[in-house]
Amino acid sequence: MAYWYEVTLSMDELEDGTCTWLVTAPDFPEVTTYGDTQEEACRNGLKAIEEAIAARMADGEDVPPPLTETNGKGRYVGLSALIFLKACLYMLCREQGITRAELARRLGRHRNSVDRLFILDHKSQLDQLEEAFAAIGHPLSFDIGYPAAA
Protein backbone atom coordinates (compact mmCIF):
# COMPACT_ATOMS: atom_id res chain seq x y z
CA MET A 1 0.00 0.00 0.00
CA ALA A 2 1.30 3.45 -0.84
CA TYR A 3 0.92 6.60 1.24
CA TRP A 4 0.69 9.95 -0.54
CA TYR A 5 0.77 13.67 0.11
CA GLU A 6 -0.43 16.19 -2.43
CA VAL A 7 1.95 18.81 -3.78
CA THR A 8 1.13 21.86 -5.86
CA LEU A 9 3.53 22.95 -8.60
CA SER A 10 3.49 26.36 -10.20
CA MET A 11 5.89 27.63 -12.81
CA ASP A 12 7.85 30.72 -11.87
CA GLU A 13 9.60 32.61 -14.65
CA LEU A 14 12.86 34.22 -13.59
CA GLU A 15 14.20 37.57 -14.82
CA ASP A 16 16.64 35.84 -17.17
CA GLY A 17 13.78 34.06 -18.93
CA THR A 18 14.42 30.63 -17.39
CA CYS A 19 11.74 28.85 -15.42
CA THR A 20 11.70 27.11 -12.10
CA TRP A 21 8.92 25.12 -10.44
CA LEU A 22 7.65 26.29 -7.05
CA VAL A 23 6.35 23.50 -4.80
CA THR A 24 3.94 23.79 -1.88
CA ALA A 25 1.98 21.15 0.03
CA PRO A 26 -1.63 21.74 1.16
CA ASP A 27 -1.21 19.56 4.28
CA PHE A 28 2.03 21.31 5.26
CA PRO A 29 1.82 25.12 5.02
CA GLU A 30 5.47 25.29 6.10
CA VAL A 31 6.62 23.50 2.92
CA THR A 32 7.93 25.68 0.11
CA THR A 33 10.67 24.51 -2.23
CA TYR A 34 11.47 24.48 -5.92
CA GLY A 35 13.10 22.55 -8.73
CA ASP A 36 14.40 23.29 -12.21
CA THR A 37 12.17 20.55 -13.64
CA GLN A 38 8.85 19.13 -12.48
CA GLU A 39 10.56 15.86 -11.51
CA GLU A 40 13.20 17.67 -9.45
CA ALA A 41 10.49 19.83 -7.89
CA CYS A 42 8.55 16.72 -6.81
CA ARG A 43 11.70 15.11 -5.36
CA ASN A 44 12.46 18.30 -3.45
CA GLY A 45 8.82 18.51 -2.35
CA LEU A 46 9.01 15.01 -0.88
CA LYS A 47 12.22 15.88 0.98
CA ALA A 48 10.60 19.06 2.33
CA ILE A 49 7.53 17.11 3.48
CA GLU A 50 9.76 14.58 5.24
CA GLU A 51 11.58 17.45 6.98
CA ALA A 52 8.24 18.98 7.98
CA ILE A 53 7.10 15.64 9.44
CA ALA A 54 10.37 15.36 11.40
CA ALA A 55 10.01 18.93 12.69
CA ARG A 56 6.42 18.36 13.76
CA MET A 57 7.40 15.17 15.57
CA ALA A 58 10.27 16.99 17.32
CA ASP A 59 7.90 19.79 18.36
CA GLY A 60 5.16 17.45 19.58
CA GLU A 61 2.69 18.53 16.89
CA ASP A 62 0.23 16.47 14.88
CA VAL A 63 1.29 14.97 11.55
CA PRO A 64 -1.54 14.94 9.01
CA PRO A 65 -2.45 11.47 7.76
CA PRO A 66 -1.30 10.67 4.24
CA LEU A 67 -3.71 9.57 1.55
CA THR A 68 -3.94 5.88 0.68
CA GLU A 69 -5.46 6.67 -2.71
CA THR A 70 -5.28 9.59 -5.08
CA ASN A 71 -8.12 10.83 -7.23
CA GLY A 72 -5.94 10.84 -10.34
CA LYS A 73 -5.90 14.61 -10.51
CA GLY A 74 -3.04 16.74 -9.27
CA ARG A 75 0.44 15.76 -8.15
CA TYR A 76 1.32 13.46 -5.30
CA VAL A 77 4.54 12.29 -3.68
CA GLY A 78 4.82 8.93 -1.93
CA LEU A 79 6.28 8.34 1.52
CA SER A 80 8.64 5.46 2.07
CA ALA A 81 7.23 2.65 4.20
CA LEU A 82 9.80 3.36 6.93
CA ILE A 83 8.87 7.03 7.25
CA PHE A 84 5.17 6.16 7.20
CA LEU A 85 5.65 3.61 10.01
CA LYS A 86 7.64 6.06 12.15
CA ALA A 87 5.08 8.84 11.71
CA CYS A 88 2.23 6.41 12.39
CA LEU A 89 3.93 5.12 15.56
CA TYR A 90 4.41 8.71 16.69
CA MET A 91 0.76 9.61 16.09
CA LEU A 92 -0.56 6.45 17.78
CA CYS A 93 1.60 7.13 20.85
CA ARG A 94 0.43 10.73 20.85
CA GLU A 95 -3.22 9.69 20.51
CA GLN A 96 -2.90 7.24 23.43
CA GLY A 97 -0.78 9.55 25.62
CA ILE A 98 2.16 7.13 25.57
CA THR A 99 5.45 8.91 26.13
CA ARG A 100 8.74 7.68 24.77
CA ALA A 101 9.80 6.87 28.32
CA GLU A 102 6.68 4.72 28.75
CA LEU A 103 7.31 3.01 25.41
CA ALA A 104 10.90 2.29 26.49
CA ARG A 105 9.57 0.78 29.73
CA ARG A 106 7.08 -1.41 27.84
CA LEU A 107 9.81 -2.60 25.48
CA GLY A 108 12.42 -3.08 28.21
CA ARG A 109 14.85 -0.88 26.28
CA HIS A 110 16.93 2.20 26.92
CA ARG A 111 15.27 5.49 26.06
CA ASN A 112 17.93 6.24 23.38
CA SER A 113 16.99 3.15 21.38
CA VAL A 114 13.32 4.16 21.49
CA ASP A 115 14.15 7.76 20.50
CA ARG A 116 15.77 6.42 17.31
CA LEU A 117 12.43 4.90 16.28
CA PHE A 118 11.18 8.47 15.88
CA ILE A 119 14.17 9.83 13.93
CA LEU A 120 13.13 9.71 10.29
CA ASP A 121 16.60 9.40 8.80
CA HIS A 122 17.65 6.62 11.20
CA LYS A 123 17.41 3.23 9.50
CA SER A 124 15.38 1.45 12.15
CA GLN A 125 14.86 -2.27 11.68
CA LEU A 126 11.39 -3.61 10.91
CA ASP A 127 11.46 -5.98 13.89
CA GLN A 128 12.07 -3.03 16.25
CA LEU A 129 9.08 -1.20 14.80
CA GLU A 130 6.95 -4.38 15.00
CA GLU A 131 7.76 -4.67 18.71
CA ALA A 132 6.93 -1.02 19.31
CA PHE A 133 3.57 -1.25 17.53
CA ALA A 134 2.72 -4.43 19.47
CA ALA A 135 3.69 -2.72 22.74
CA ILE A 136 1.09 -0.01 22.14
CA GLY A 137 -1.62 -2.48 21.13
CA HIS A 138 -1.36 -2.13 17.34
CA PRO A 139 0.39 -5.18 15.88
CA LEU A 140 1.59 -4.51 12.35
CA SER A 141 -0.42 -6.00 9.54
CA PHE A 142 0.13 -5.80 5.81
CA ASP A 143 -2.43 -5.63 3.05
CA ILE A 144 -0.37 -7.52 0.47
CA GLY A 145 -1.80 -10.65 -1.06
CA TYR A 146 0.58 -13.59 -0.99
CA PRO A 147 0.60 -15.43 -4.33
CA ALA A 148 -0.60 -19.05 -4.38
CA ALA A 149 2.12 -20.08 -6.83
CA ALA A 150 4.75 -18.47 -8.98
Convert the pLDDT of each residue in 13-38 to its tens digit: 878 888 899 999 999 999 999 999 99
Choose which CATH entry (3.30.160.250, 3.40.190.10, 3.10.50.40, 1.10.10.60) describes domain 4-78: 3.30.160.250
What pLDDT, in 10s, does the model give residues 36-76? 999 999 999 999 999 999 999 999 999 999 998 888 788 99
The band of 1, judged by pLDDT with boundaries at 50, 70 and 90, is: low
Query: What pTM, to 2 d.p., does this model score?
Result: 0.90
13, amino acid identity = E
- Rounded Cα distance, 85 and 48, in Å: 18
- Rounded Cα distance, 79 and 48, in Å: 12
DSSP string, 73-93: SSEEEEPPHHHHHHHHHHHHH
